[in-house]
Amino acid sequence: MAPPAIATAGAGRRFIGRWAVRGVTLAVPQGAFLLVYGPNGAGKTTLLRLMGSALAPNEGTVSLFGGEAAPARSRVALLTHADGHYDELSGRENLEQAKALGGLRGSVDEVLVRVGLHLRARDPVRQYSAGMRKRLAFARLLLKEPELALFDEPYAALDEEGHTVVDALFQELHARGTTVVVSTHQVARVSALCTHHAELCAGQLVAFGPGAPARSRQGVRAAGSLGEPSAEGP
Amino acid sequence: MMGVVTEPWPFVWSAYGATVVLIGGYLVSLWVRSRSTGGGDEQA
Amino acid sequence: MTLGMRVSGGVAVLLWVLGMAAGLTLAPPEEHMSDLVRIMFVHVPVAWAAMATFTVALVASVGWLATHRWGWDHLLDASLEVGVLLGVLLSVQGSVWGYPTWGTWWTWDPRLTSVAVMVLSFLGILALRAFVDEPEKRASWSAAASILAWGSVPFTYFCVKVMNSLHQKQTPWGAMHPDMLKALLLNTATITLLTVWMLMARYQLARTELRRELGT
Amino acid sequence: MKEVVRQCSLVVRKELLHLWRGKARLVATGAFAFANLVVFSFAGGLHGEAMRTNAAGFLWVGILLASTLALGESFRVEVQNQALEAMVLLPVHPAAIFYGKAIGNFVLLSLVGAVMVPCSIVLFDAVPVGGLGRLFLTIPFGAAAISAPGTMHAALSCRARSRDVLLPLLLFPLVVPGLVAAVQATQLCFLGDAMGEYGSWLTVLAAYCVVQWGLGGLLFSHIVEE
């Protein structure tokens, strides 16, 4: 039995005095498609960054593919709202730099076409719109051909056409056997594909299991407390 | 007699004085800070 | 502050004051050096204590980076603060010693400037700690900076050694008048004891502050 | 090890590309250094012989002040979109990132230093009696002494609050031993090296660089990890 792609045991991460995420224990088998949902400030971003070894847990453990998180970085790709591009360089140069530095397998031209940026590849990234920067971040992720791909709010800042690109991309990654974790508020778009769901609320894992989230519970919780959302971790 | 100034004692006193003032001041600050953070009676 | 700390603190301060009193009164003035030499009884021990404290900061930094146990960070916090205090005191004493000998409060004497540079290096790290909110980041970054800044300690010791041999008519330890040597050793012991106590007190303060910050 | 060198050379390539692409940054740093020299030249109220003896000190303080501009900028680019984190997750060895960026800053500071040499010769009318070649040899050593600790502290202060205050506050005391050696060596170039001390000052400077470049590589991983 292959080790789970992600296995967390009591994982917690604190920012100064506040626990953004605490006591999360779950296991995501390889090839699964996990949907993470919950209100703003529930700790979704922090959980994804823990899974992508961008953050080290203050409590508990996070292991990827059965081993330590950090050594598995070459097999994992994380897409967050900070896109990690160099504004002065062009889209193509950003990708070529990443490809050379990380020894990535993908082809720059192919991924540029896939995300629809091949016409603007030569322009410096500082001229890109938010949506185009997001597409370039997708291109970098595809370039890595990861075994585990983590997406934090993938649909944010994308236009309608962008949404369809992302949907197609999720289909393909899932079909290829890549373990995918998506944190989004657009649960409907992804629930058809997802094999597991996890619900976070105020840093606690309140639901985790196979299949799509039950329509009723997911809707009520998300719309329920419209109180001031506690500040999400960086 | 070495140096520029003949009467050494003012300088000896000011050196010792500076020592007492600085270290004493720091000790007081330690005392005040330990009381203010509620560490007053906490048995360490 | 616990009762134990208060009592030990009182003892340390008492011994320290007695030591200084001895330095001021008991030791006879050396024949060709005036009473000015009495400044040495506080200056040399403080110099040793300051450099030792910054070395404790180095050890604490390596300790934290290796084990990520909070005790090391508290020790680093304590040794930085106490070290800077002793360093500032050292500079003040140095310039007071300097005036009668050179006629100015400050001069480009490697001993004075190297001490000032050492103090400023670690003062910068105190500022760094004040400007970083995340406890883990604050600990790791100030530890790395302390390891870099520690280089100023041997540099200062080297300057003092070289300059003392060039200028100072300082009698080597042996030939010094036995009473003066006794006074110097007494003061070194009391200042070291007081420094250790200050480090322990500041350590406990750092631990309490971190508990409050983390709300545990 | 070979992997670190390969990644480091790629980071250097990116740094130089940034340097070339952002030529304005290079020119601004140079102009700022030159402005320092001009200010020193009349602020010092010196002339003739006194000016020449201080030329070396003014030159290096000018470069040091300008270096904070360049160092702060080199990490603003990394921190702005969290490109530094993206590199660490790629994964790239932290040591490769450090040496890449430090070499990039070294090149920038050496260029600025090289441009400042003729300027200081003119401004302080300090004809290098000890040999122009030696003067240009000292510049890269001094630039290396500033760029290693500078890169370390730029990485720290760029992510702390009030970073513009923190970088000079942390960097200047740290760089003093290296700077003293650089100034002494440069002074010998300007005023002539009667007793042949140039070699010994250069070795002091080289020793300082070895320590800073070594420690930087070791400690950088502790700075980038969250």
Per-residue model confidence (pLDDT) at position B39: 47
Rounded CA gap, D71 and D94, in Å? 18
Per-residue model confidence (pLDDT) at position A158: 86
- Residue A155 touches chain C, beta carbons under 8 Å: no
Domains contained in chain A, CATH given: 31-53+73-224 (3.40.50.300)
Distances (CA, A) of C142 to C107, D54, D156: 31, 35, 9
Nearest CA in chain B to C197: B27
Q: Which two tokens stand for residue C137?
A: 């980041």
pLDDT digits (tens, 9 = 90+) for A138-161: 999 999 999 999 999 998 888 888
Q: Which helix (H) or strand (E) holds D28?
A: helix D23-43
What ipTM was reported for this prediction?
0.87
**Which chain D residues touch A97 with a CB distance below 8 Å?**
10, 14
Rounded CA gap, D133 and D128, in Å? 9
Q: What is the pLDDT along chain C (216 residues), one digit of tens a residue?
A: 788 888 999 999 999 999 888 888 876 665 555 677 788 888 999 999 999 999 999 999 999 999 999 999 999 999 999 999 999 999 999 888 888 777 777 777 788 889 999 999 999 999 999 999 899 999 999 999 999 999 999 988 888 888 776 665 554 554 567 777 888 899 999 999 999 999 999 999 999 999 998 887
Nearest CA in chain A to C213: A17
User: Which position has the higher pLDDT, D175 or C33?
Assistant: D175
**Which chain C residues touch A15 with a CB distance below 8 Å?**
134
Per-residue model confidence (pLDDT) at position A23: 93
Residue A228 pLDDT exceeds 80 = no
**Extended strands (E) in D52-154:** none
pLDDT-derived band at D190 (thresholds 50, 70, 90) equals confident
Domain that holds residue C185: 3-214
Per-residue model confidence (pLDDT) at position B3: 52
Residue A176 CB coordination number (10 Å): 11
pLDDT-derived band at A234 (thresholds 50, 70, 90) equals very low
Note the pTM of the prediction, 2 decimals: 0.90
User: Which position has the higher pLDDT, A41 or D102?
Assistant: D102
Contact criterion met (CB < 8 Å) for A89 and D92: no
Per-residue model confidence (pLDDT) at position A222: 46
Nearest-CB residue to C93 (from B8, B19, B26): B19
Per-residue model confidence (pLDDT) at position A91: 94
Signed CA dihedral, C75, C77, C80, C82: sign only? negative
For range D165-179, the mean pLDDT: 93
Distances (CA, A) of C11 to A81, C16, C81, C197, D41: 58, 8, 22, 10, 57
Between chain A and chain D, are at least 3 CB pairs below 8 A?
A: yes
pLDDT-derived band at A177 (thresholds 50, 70, 90) equals very high
Per-residue model confidence (pLDDT) at position B6: 66
For range D86-115, the mean pLDDT: 95
Residue A168 pLDDT exceeds 70 = yes
Contact criterion met (CB < 8 Å) for C214 and A15: no
Residue D104 is given by DSSP the state H
Number of domain units in chain C: 1
Per-residue model confidence (pLDDT) at position C159: 85
For range D58-74, the mean pLDDT: 92
**Contact assessment for residue A212 and residue A194, using Cβ atoms and an 8 Å cutoff:** yes
Residue A224 pLDDT exceeds 70 = no
